[in-house]
Copies of this chain bind each other. A is one copy, B any other.
Amino acid sequence: MIIDAQKLIEQGKMARQAARILASANTIQKNNALIKMAECLEKSAAEIIAANRLDLEAGREMGLTSSLLERLTLDEGRIAGMAEGLREISALPDPVGEVLEINRRPNGLEVGRIRTPMGVIGIIYESRPNVTADAAGLCLKSGNAILLRGGEEALHSNRVIARIIAEAAVSSGLPAGAIQLVDSPDRQLVIQMMQMNDYIDCLIPRGGAGLKKTVMANASVPYIMTGMGNCHVYIDEFADFNKARPIVINAKVQRPSVCNAIENLLVHQAVARDFLPLIAEELREAGVEIRGCQTSKAVVPWILEASAADWAEEYLDLIIAVKVVEDVDQAIEHINKYGTGHSEAIVSENYTNVRRFMRAVDAAAVYANASTRFTDGNEFGFGAEMGISTQKLHARGPMGLRELTTTKFIVYGDGQIR
């Protein structure tokens, strides 16, 4: 059922009410709901696939690229994956109610801090319909109600998935309104979500540069910006090429469309002559287009020439920009200037250079001698993730259940006054 502006406010009110109840739901209730949601998704696979087919048909007519269509596609396997994701979330520890500290003050007051849900979380995302189940599962486990605004191109799929998991949650005794889809292709409603301060406590935009701009220009609801990834690998003067080569190839080629893939290669001038021809050849074999600075081109003449715009661009494709730098400090400076604060790596055997890089680079994740592709909730060991924050406030890097909570101070007294 397509909604309008007035209906969105009503959804916000329902979410707020549901959030109050959900906040005190116990872990067993929430886990049972997650498992029920998983079962219902699996049972309804045929219905989901039928809805997904409508999205795919419309997508083909609209001329979506094959990679977008691929992301949009659901089959038995992917639905089983969504269900498995929900079961994994049910197995993760419940962050709500964790007491972070409790100290007795000289006057006898006991001052503590306890983890609580945020309340209502709004998520704005694109093509992949599995995000609907993942995000709802994470929010539910962390005691938050969720308003889901998926991409227009996945509306049929999201509608069915959201209905199935919302009904499953209600049938497990959780409040109606805890999981709701913003069921409309109208982009004005997205703007409206960004300004629903009374009903949304935290907004999580997951998308590209366009969404980021819209959020920055319009949001009054506090938000956590995610997934902007203009990432670099810096090959130091003291790099071990046997580590450097696989790291560059992996970080660029293994999955170029994701935010933790690299877009840039920085090479110390002292090793440019030895390293660049090797890596350029490997990148070419992997089908990567190389755009180099003047110095890189002097070493490997067949590569393309980079323009000034290349240093800031997030290709998300088999393209890489290459720049020769004077030293580790110039690499750090370049990264802090052009990077989006996502994932940055140095390859070096030199203690001091590694230490300097790790300290001075201003990003969510900084690597020594490993691929940037590891920036991921699962890889870091805290299970599923809601996105990768590239901002400094609240959460930075992969956001798991803990990052979907806030804290409150609890103070126990015996009549103390000031």
Contact = CB atoms under 8 A, between A and B. Distances in A.
Contacts of A367: 411-413
A224 B371 contact: no
Contacts of A103: 381
Contacts of A358: 410
Given A362-B119, A396-B406, A408-B364, A415 B369 contact: yes
A118 B111 CA distance: 27
A381 B105 CA distance: 7
Contacts of A71: none
A64 B369 CA distance: 61
Contact of A379 (B217, B381, B397, B418): B418
Interface stretch (A35-43, A238-246, A298-306): A238-246
Contact of A201 (B216, B217, B392, B413): B392
Contacts of A379: 105, 418
Interface in A188-204: 197, 201-202
Contact of A418 (B220, B242, B371, B393): B371
B417 A368 contact: no
B373 A246 contact: no
B366 A413 contact: no
Contacts of A246: 415, 417
Contacts of A364: 408-409
Nearest to A411: B367
Nearest to A247: B417
Interface in A57-73: none
B242 A415 contact: yes
Contacts of A222: 222, 391-393
Contact of A415 (B251, B360, B370, B416): B370
Interface string A386-418: 000001111011000000001111111111111
B243 A216 contact: no
A217 B111 CA distance: 35
Contacts of A250: 417-418
Number of copies: 2
A307 B23 CA distance: 32
A362 B119 CA distance: 9
Contact of A109 (B119, B247, B360, B374): B374
Contact of A380 (B20, B111, B242, B380): B111
A163 B216 CA distance: 33
A359 B412 contact: no
Contacts of A180: none
A103 B374 CA distance: 14
A412 B373 CA distance: 13
B20 A336 contact: yes
Nearest to A203: B393
A103 B381 CA distance: 9
25 contacts: A23-B360, A24-B359, A111-B381, A118-B393, A119-B392, A201-B393, A222-B222, A222-B393, A246-B417, A250-B417, A254-B417, A254-B418, A362-B408, A368-B411, A368-B413, A370-B411, A370-B416, A371-B413, A371-B418, A374-B411, A392-B406, A393-B393, A393-B394, A393-B406, A396-B408
Q: Would you list the 4 A-B pairs with minimal beta carbon distance, nearest first?
A: A370-B413, A243-B415, A250-B417, A392-B406
Given A201-B392, A370-B413, A396-B407, 16 more contacts: A23-B359, A24-B360, A118-B392, A222-B391, A222-B393, A242-B415, A246-B417, A250-B418, A254-B417, A365-B409, A366-B411, A369-B414, A370-B415, A396-B406, A396-B408, A397-B409
